[in-house]
Chains A and B, each alone.
Chain A
Amino acid sequence: MSLVELRHVSKSYGEGAGAVHALRDVSVSFDAGALVAIMGPSGSGKSTLLTIAGSLEEPTSGEVLVDGVCVSEMSRDAKARLRRRSIGYVFQDYNLLPGLTAVENVALPLELDGVPRKRARSAAMEALEALGVSGRAACFPDELSGGERQRVSIARAVVGDRRVLLTDEPTGALDSANGEAVMGLIRGACRRGVAGVMVTHDRQLASWADDVVLLRDGRIVGPTPPDAPPAPERAR
């Protein structure tokens, strides 16, 4: 069953002649337990696709369904709830909140959801442990290295029972060893039943995915299997 489904989604910025069509009539769905890689040249609309799937942005036309429910019909609060409860998002530049320690950053979505502080913290510690950064739990973001920040933000994206994990170039700033480690984590989350989506430029990393979606000028130009292992399951 598809957890997130985009139906005929278009997105354009601006109006008239100067309008930029970031996405044109994109239909794609992401299933539980599968990892989909999104690839394409710079400016092809990859990040836009991800933010729309994560309900961070509204499509200009078309609809987004999460668990069969149309997102555009949800209230702002319901969407916020969706984001803190079901969708984990890892940004290209690993956005952590300044002023909060690593563990507080990870616990934040849970606390926002009303989980008592203590339980939220222990869940956050678990997630950090799983990612091997529990030793840096009490550090503030500006005291962490790039790789550590990335891992903390992945921990925040998977903490709780998230069912969708959206990552935008999660390994962009990491060396290959760290990149592989992060990919292992994402892969592991998918194995537990999470629907994973990953934007990447790296064919090597794309090979971790079950399926690859190729974007060009805001259009899906077809799923191209990466060089290495063939996709076991199709994403669309």
Chain B
Amino acid sequence: MSAAQARRPVAGEAGGGGMAARRAIIGWAVRLVRRDQRQQLLALILLTVAVGATVVGAAVAVNTPSKAATTGTFGTANHIISLPGDDPSLSADLAAIKHRLGTIDVIEIRKIATGSAQPVVLQAEDPHGAYGRPMLALVAGRYPTGPDQVAVTGQVATLFDLHLGGAWRASGRSLRVVGRVENPQNLEDAFALVAPGQIISPSQVLVLVRATRSAIDAIDLPAGAAVASAPSPAGGLSPTAIVLALATFGMLFIGLVAVAGFMVIAQRRLRALGMLAAFGATDRHLRLVMIADGVVVGVVAALAGTGVGLAAWAFVVPVLQRSSGHRVVWSDLPWGLVLAAAVLAVVTAAAAAWWPARTVARIPIIAALSGHPGYHRPTRRFAVPGILLLTAGLGFLALAGAGNGSPPLLVVGILGITSGTMFLAPLAITGAAALCSRAPLATRLALRDLARYRSRSGAALAAIFVAIEIAAIVAIGFTARYSNPVDLTGPNLAANELVLYNAPANRDGGVPDTTSITGQDIQRAVRSLGASIHAAVVPLDLAVAPAAPSFGGVKQTAGLYQVTGNRYESAGQVYVATPQLLAHYGINPREIGATADVITSRAGLGTVSNLQLDPYGEGCPTAADCAFAAPKVQVLNRLPGFVDEPNLLITEHAMQALHLHAVPAAWLIKTRRALTPAQINAARQTAITLGGIIDTRGSTPTLSQLRNEAAAAGILLALGVLAMTVGLIRSETAGDLRTLTATGATTTTRRTLTGVTAGALALLGALLGTGAAYLVAIGWFHKTLSTTIDQVPVTDLLLILVGLPAVAFAGGYLLAGREPATVSHQPLE
């Protein structure tokens, strides 16, 4: 040894080089993110969408629940003491309450007849009251201050055709309209506001207080006084918790897709990472390159997603306001959850980058330098844990399906099956490659590359598979759910139908004991409605047993139940099969069997066991004497199938056998085209005058709609993953292509290579995904397999199993023409 200067020892203690090293690595990693933008795009977009959706979802979830029963009634008070308006010692009582409880807020009320079913409330209240303030807002004009001034809500203004500055004669007084007001917590609240003390003889005096119940009970209240307490916050899961749980699951899936993306990026950087290791970077440094990348992607997605979400929320606000019935303020969203979603996005991206980071850091330096993707453990090794996980998943699902459907078990089961299938995915790839070992050159080469670059194709396959699995679970699950003949699900009515119920109770299968309006009046009003909106009107009758007891002035009607132990599951509204109703659906009474008790459009109902036709509804005096076991069910396809349509009818035969009589309860009103808002409003007005209510088509989608949407979403997602990974897998093997071209292969070969790569991944993903989904379904529904799984969603499965691979192949084939351009830059890395 020559130069003997004092030098550091050659070998020494281990160590990372501290902050300076980390900064250098991160600096380089951030530059690489910019270089590899295209590869990050899918993960970035998915995370952005997830954060945005979480923000909007959280905002909607928090702002949707009706506040009518809480702040819409109580304001910031927790109790309302209601005093009768004719309390002779009213002012003394109010003074006593004030003395005991401190601050109080008094609202005087008087109902005024309007000639319509809905009364309008005249309300004397201090707009700046201590507790009532949140329930009052000025829309236009000003609050009433003087004796003859009034401010009204929009509904009252419409009802009485009132305008600002105009006059209103109400309950014998002439009032000047000085303002428009509303209850922002309950926009349905219709009232007229006057200044405090301006109601001469209130029918009721409400005292809003904040006090303990015992403090209120200690006060000596006058006769006729009542105390109402604000409902305590609902137990169970809060909407934010549900949104957070959903967001976590969504991110979990996106994390999987992102793993595929980062795996591709890691492989792209393999040579660079090998060099970095050769220059003395530790494993931790190598991982940092990838994880920094993940964090950058996560932060960008978190910021962009929050921005997009907040902007989208601004558009949702007015829509939500209309549907929720209370004012919705843009800034009123759960900021904690928004922050959580952003953090979750960063964590997801970083975690997704971790696995590829670990994988590349473990590849021997020399292998990395030559771009070799490292050595794979034989795929057989994965088979045993894969099968074990599958079995365990099935077991959990079976347990979940056997009990009352415990959600944790269901989730664990689905996760077991999903992860088990993932373990088997590499096996599927090598299997496919082996199967095609005699295929034409392009196909053989494509599949061999998939098997060779398994760490990359495996992650892509996993992401595709999960997308398809979720879509297929949704399709199968909804098919099973929708096919439950007892608990009917689906749209309630067609778009051209509405049902007008004579009384709110009729809607729930009850008949009020007394009605102020005679049957003939109702009939006349409904017929004239039908004529004015050009609609067919079909009366719907409920079957009532004379002996049926009534509860709260409402008599239960005959119903069909599935009885399991002492649990009664109602099959829904049972109408009487009147000749008129049958005629409307073109059914000849002679088609109905002489002994049939019930006719229905629900195909599965005929085979359901332990049905009971109960003439007393749920109001049986004793269980023994009202159950009419095993009624004879006849299925008639011509009857309608939507939930609120007359799809379940009791026959003349059963009516006589059970001594029931028909009571007019509702009207099916059917126009030729979809109902217009004006027609619906006309029906609503009629309903108000009759004291009834109407029902129109809700938002529940049809089964095929749901299934197609799920399948389309799964396919789109899978195609996105494919687009991202296939191009890369192919461009990594561009060297082969060049050699191929040099030896005389045509462009078709190149196109076929890419097409087969995409198509094969898509087909494998589709097969594994539907397979896993069916396993989930079998585990979950194992007891009722014959009635639930027998309805195969053929179109959707065809779409997934044939459509997806075909589109993937075609896309790969068509887009492969551009490849060499991206290849030219590869050698430097």
Residues of A within 8 A of B (CB): 1, 3, 31-33, 51, 54, 56-57, 66-67, 69, 71, 74-78, 80-86, 89, 91, 95-100, 104, 107-109, 111-117, 120, 141-142, 156, 161, 163-164, 192-194
Contacts and interface: CB of A to CB of B under 8 A. Distances in A.
Given A56-B278, A67-B9, 17 more contacts: A33-B2, A33-B3, A66-B11, A76-B283, A77-B284, A81-B13, A81-B282, A82-B280, A84-B279, A85-B8, A97-B275, A108-B24, A112-B280, A112-B281, A114-B17, A114-B18, A117-B20
A109 B364 contact: no
30 contacts: A1-B1, A33-B1, A56-B369, A57-B366, A76-B283, A77-B15, A80-B280, A80-B283, A83-B278, A83-B279, A83-B280, A84-B279, A84-B280, A86-B8, A86-B10, A86-B11, A95-B278, A95-B369, A96-B275, A97-B272, A97-B275, A100-B31, A108-B24, A109-B279, A112-B25, A112-B285, A114-B17, A114-B19, A117-B24, A161-B8
A3 B17 CA distance: 24
Interface string B256-285: 000000000000000110011111111111
Given A33-B1, A95-B271, A115 B828 contact: no
B283 A81 contact: no
Nearest to B35: A99
A192 B3 contact: yes
B712 interface: no
Contacts of B369: 56, 91, 95
A163 to B, nearest CB: 6
B28 A77 contact: no
Given A31-B1, A78-B11, A84 B281 contact: yes
Contacts of A113: 17, 21, 280
B23 interface: yes
B281 A77 contact: no
Interface of B: 1-5, 7-21, 23-25, 28, 31-32, 35, 271-272, 275-285, 364-366, 369, 828-829
Nearest to B29: A99
A193 B364 CA distance: 30
A78 B12 CA distance: 7
Contacts of B16: 77, 114
Contacts of A31: 1
Contact of B35 (A82, A95, A98): A98
B14 A78 contact: yes
B278 A114 contact: no
A85 B366 contact: no
A82 B8 CA distance: 11
Contact of B3 (A32, A54, A78): A32
Given A77-B283, A85-B280, A97-B28, A193 B2 contact: yes
B10 A77 contact: no
B272 A98 contact: yes
Contacts of A156: 279
A3 B1 CA distance: 8
Top 3 A-B pairs, shortest CB-CB distance: A84-B280, A193-B3, A33-B2
Contacts of B279: 83-84, 89, 108-109, 112, 156
A67 B16 CA distance: 21
A138 B350 CA distance: 31
A80 B24 contact: no
Nearest to A82: B11
A81 B364 contact: no
Contacts of B31: 99-100
Nearest to A114: B17
Contacts of B11: 66-67, 69, 71, 74, 78, 82, 86
Contacts of B13: 78, 81
Contact of A193 (B1, B12, B284): B1
Contacts of A56: 277-278, 365-366, 369
Contacts of A141: 828
A69 B25 CA distance: 29
Nearest to A190: B2
A66 to B, nearest CB: 5
A109 B280 contact: yes
Contacts of B35: 98-99
A51 B20 contact: no
Contacts of B272: 97-99
